[in-house]
Structure 1
Amino acid sequence: MTDPFPRLVEHVSSLRHGTLPASAVTRMKVFILDTLGVGAAGAHGTNLEAMTALVDTWGHGADARVWGSETRLPAPSAAFVNAYRIHSLEFDCLHERAVLHPMAAILAAVLAYADRRAHRGRPVAGAEMIAACIAGVDIATFLGFAARGPVRFFRPSTAGGFGAAAAIANLAGYDFDLTANTLGIQYSQTSGTMQAHVEGSPCLGLQVGFASRAGIVSADLAAAGFTGPRDVLTGPHGYFRLFEADRFEIDGEIERIGHEFQIEEMAHKPFPSGRLTHGAVHALKLLRDRLRFSADDVRAFECFVPSLVARLVGRPDIPDPEPNYAKLCIPFVAATYLRRGDVNVDGFLGRDVLGDPITHAIASRVVVIQDDNPDPNAMTPQRFKLTLSDGSVHEIKLDHVLGHPKAALSRDQHLDKFRKAWKSGGLEVEAGERLIDRVDDLESVADVSVLSAMLARS
């Protein structure tokens, strides 16, 4: 078996903007903007204000901006808060094959680090930022798509932290040894439990914050002369042995590195709920457009889904769920769409919405059934059967869910999502339009800290 670590380290330490295909650059700019929009909407994250005030007591410094506020913090602390904002609403992009949201930890770390660099008179240029984020996505997603067993730990935190560390190492211009030490130190900080997902705890978003903060800390420690373990992936106590229960495939998958850029496989999340709930919403939208039925017309809605979907979001509806539980529950999310005609941020805010008896009555008619797909990491295909009150039965199969590269959002849909998320965050409309223009022309931006400035309140 090939040890993938040297190949990954070489990829991170050598990748530069000039070597990237235009298609990868374009997609990275799409998902940088998407992630910034989601970060703006993260103003509604559970206990965000209290968390920001708490983090401010952990150490003072003017290095980096906390989005949506006047607060500036040391870069690791700003990355922690901003990554939490990005993931707290379950609205951030993902790589389906890797079962992973990599951009939350990566972008929060990169922009906090860029803020610090600018504060110290060494700004980061847009082209450098693009290359660093692409390197980070490649490393994080490799850890996901090389896995062969069912998800055991929370990959947006475990693998996402490696992505954040890789991006910072690339941005810092580290050589092979410094990059290897950064990733080795990152492994010593790797964590993230699926128990928070099962319970719908806000710790899910906190874990992404921990990973983003760790990415900066790992790079700083490497620069200070600390060394990390090297056999961190396939060693006797390496990542794949422990976090993936020794079920992984390296040969064949490692060949993708440097030849395929995984940002091109990233999927949008058109709705602020668990990605695995989106198939039900997509199917209902297609059926409703065709049949013009109302929620009252639905006798039953059956969802036949792979084991990953059933296990992570096939949970039962409960009377008064916490926001994170509701977003990760197919019956509640499907009922929210049928009740409201859309699934948006407001659909998970407030006890009156989360406890709405009509929504829960609709949810009682939604059934999740595990199919016989043998792949424990498959998200699709998914099949749905709708029974209406007149006794008619209508079925639909989805090979790709809305937002996937093969069912991609158009630019207009992408910008519509960004603008709605931006507005939800309460930030100035004009600043959002300027941000769109800046990201579109990111290669010409000499100092990317201007992006964070647009998300801050002055």
Structure 2
Amino acid sequence: MTTETLSLPDTGDLTPRVAGFAARLRAEDLPAGLRADIGLHLLDTLACAAAGARLPIAAEARGHARAMGNAAGPAPLIGAADRTSPMMAAFANAFAANALDYDDGFEHDGKGMGHPGASLVAAALAALGRGPVSGGALVAALAAGTEINNRLILSVQPSAERFHEVYGIGQHQAIGAAVVYARLSGLPAERMETALGLAASLTPVPSLHKYNWRARPIITLKDFVAPAAQAGVQAVELARAGFTGPRGVFDGPTGFWRMVGSDRFDAEALVADLGRVWRAEEGAFKTYPACRWLAPALEAFEIARERAATGAGIVRISVRSFADVGRKLADPRPRDAIDAQFSLPHLLACLAAGLPAGLPWFTPAALADPALHALADRVTIETDAAMDAAMRGPGRRPSAAVAIDFADGSRAEAEVAAPRGGALRPITAAVVRDKAGRLFGQSGLDISERTLAELAASADVMTDLAPLFRGPAGG
């Protein structure tokens, strides 16, 4: 049984402080490093969305957006020539950004928490349909949304025991998306608290433990970044229309922390040093299109293969990791692209076969490829007690070791203690730009080298991103 903890006395002013910061942050208030970080995360998210939009399931999301939206709406759909309502465009574009599971995250002390870029950038694109937005306004909106988003999820982190009972990956991102859309769509500052309360009420329930882990395929809306983006945009439009939302949604023993099933709330993490200490600087980038929990095993495989002194064929790939890898992430025959992102055997097979990371791992041809099936069947997975303890503890840190046995009898091994891409094991901006270039290349969209260079340098130079991502009509 867990003990619930509410830090700091209930002063009743947390929500107004958050809303005031969210509404009034200026681009000139941001450290130069954070401005550059925002531009890099924007580039990464747009690249993931551009490539992800080509998946059949992303086309289905666009079809849903068209059916439920407005054909005369102002908001662009990534990968299509037409437009729809802001709310439904936010849904479809966030889905595309997360479709490859290659999109960014928030990482604090090695613990990954959500995929903020997918929801927040989708909310920004939904607002851009109303007309050009200055680069400074875009950066400030994304910075405000990301800062509140990251502080909020940090403040409601549950105990290790409660995490294994109830948790959600993207539910808090409705609030971050609402901040971004409110600022870029011109919601009056005094209505920000109402929008945040409505977003908190509209976001989906936390459901990480109902992803069909043992009754595959994995749910299509994994991570729930798309419903969160939709909820954030809808909340702002309801606030604009005069709807009343809950006041003080972050405050007290019945606040947002309780709404999302946590048994912990750290008010200081939400508001202390707001505007001086920047949690938005703690963004992380993915180096593999896969569930973050599997990144150490994928990297360990690549390291082991590089160490191998043979060109002989692979006979066996042996993995040691935490228990959930073998229990939940070991299905060798994923049914669709989403399912494949949670299948370590399939992902290792793609690496072993030399497929470029990204879209090629999840095409219908890849999922049906007998050669990949044969490689996936050579993967064995066992639980390592120490790695399981590290994952089940408060740090929730995934790790893995891989041994590759070759046909000539040789073996190569490697172990990885944490995923790359966050503060524990950062990657350079050049690596992120290279990843983005590869994904834009897979997208089939007409994105010029100049545009890519501008985005990579800084979002400040952009005034209207919407025209960049229009694919063929009906896509």
Q: SS in structure 2 opposite 1:366?
A: strand
Q: SS in structure 2 opposite 1:251?
A: helix
1:15 to 25, 35, 46: 25
Please state how far the C-alpha of 1:439 moved relative to its aligned partner: 5.4
Residue-by-residue CA offset, 1:261-315 (whole Å, 9 max, x unaligned): 233211111221112211111122222222345684454523334x7xx379852
Q: SS in structure 2 opposite 1:203?
A: coil
Alignment of 1:114-263 (within 5 A): 114-116=128-130, 118=131, 123-146=132-155, 147-149=157-159, 150=163, 152-156=166-170, 158-172=171-185, 174=187, 177-192=190-205, 193-194=207-208, 195-196=210-211, 198=213, 199-201=216-218, 203-204=220-221, 207-252=224-269, 254-255=271-272, 257-263=274-280
1:28 aligns with 2:38: yes
Please state how far the C-alpha of 1:181 moved relative to its aligned partner: 0.3
Q: SS in structure 2 opposite 1:96?
A: strand
1:91 to 83, 102, 111: 102
Amino acid corresponding to residue 178 of structure 2 in structure 1: A
1:61 to 72, 76, 98: 72
Which residue number in structure 2 is paired with residue 327 of structure 1?
A: 341
Instruction: Compare 317-326 and 94-103 and name the one that shifted more.
Output: 317-326
Which residue number in structure 2 is paired with residue 422 of structure 1?
A: 440
Amino acid corresponding to residue 381 of structure 2 in structure 1: V
Residue-by-residue CA offset, 1:319-344 (whole Å, 9 max, x unaligned): 35332222113333233322336543
Which residue number in structure 2 is paired with residue 396 of structure 1?
A: 415
TM-score (norm 1): 0.87
1:337 to 351, 362, 387: 351
- Tell whether the 8 Å contact from 1:314 to 1:330 is kept in structure 2 after alignment: no
Amino acid corresponding to residue 89 of structure 1 in structure 2: L
Structure 2 distance, partners of 1:352, 1:393, is 26
Q: SS in structure 1 opposite 2:319?
A: strand
Matched residue count = 443
Distance 1:351 1:86, change over 3 A: same
TM-score (norm 2): 0.84
Which residue number in structure 1 is paired with residue 454 of structure 2?
A: 437
Instruction: Compare 34-43 and 58-67 and name the one that shifted more.
Output: 58-67
Please state how far the C-alpha of 1:242 moved relative to its aligned partner: 3.2
- Tell whether the 8 Å contact from 1:314 to 1:368 is kept in structure 2 after alignment: no
Structure 1 distance, partners of 2:254, 2:377, is 48
Which residue number in structure 1 is paired with residue 470 of structure 2?
A: 456
Structure 2 distance, partners of 1:83, 1:345, is 17
- Tell whether the 8 Å contact from 1:62 to 1:72 is kept in structure 2 after alignment: yes
Structure 1 distance, partners of 2:467, 2:245, is 34
Amino acid corresponding to residue 76 of structure 2 in structure 1: R
- Tell whether the 8 Å contact from 1:231 to 1:238 is kept in structure 2 after alignment: yes
Which residue number in structure 1 is paired with residue 5 of structure 2?
A: none
Please state how far the C-alpha of 1:115 moved relative to its aligned partner: 1.4
Please state how far the C-alpha of 1:136 moved relative to its aligned partner: 1.1
Please state how far the C-alpha of 1:228 moved relative to its aligned partner: 1.0
Please state how far the C-alpha of 1:256 moved relative to its aligned partner: 5.0
Structure 1 residue ranges without an equivalent (≥5): none
Structure 2 distance, partners of 1:258, 1:166, is 15
Structure 2 distance, partners of 1:405, 1:95, is 10
Which residue number in structure 1 is paired with residue 377 of structure 2?
A: 361
What percent identity do the matched residue pairs reach?
Answer: 23
Amino acid corresponding to residue 168 of structure 2 in structure 1: F
Distance 1:402 1:292, change over 3 A: farther
Which residue number in structure 2 is paired with residue 44 of structure 1?
A: 54
Q: SS in structure 2 opposite 1:407?
A: coil
- Tell whether the 8 Å contact from 1:88 to 1:204 is kept in structure 2 after alignment: no
- Tell whether the 8 Å contact from 2:114 to 2:223 is kept in structure 1 after alignment: no
Please state how far the C-alpha of 1:395 moved relative to its aligned partner: 4.5
Superposed CA RMSD? 2.9
2:283 to 266, 274, 289: 266
- Tell whether the 8 Å contact from 1:89 to 1:273 is kept in structure 2 after alignment: yes
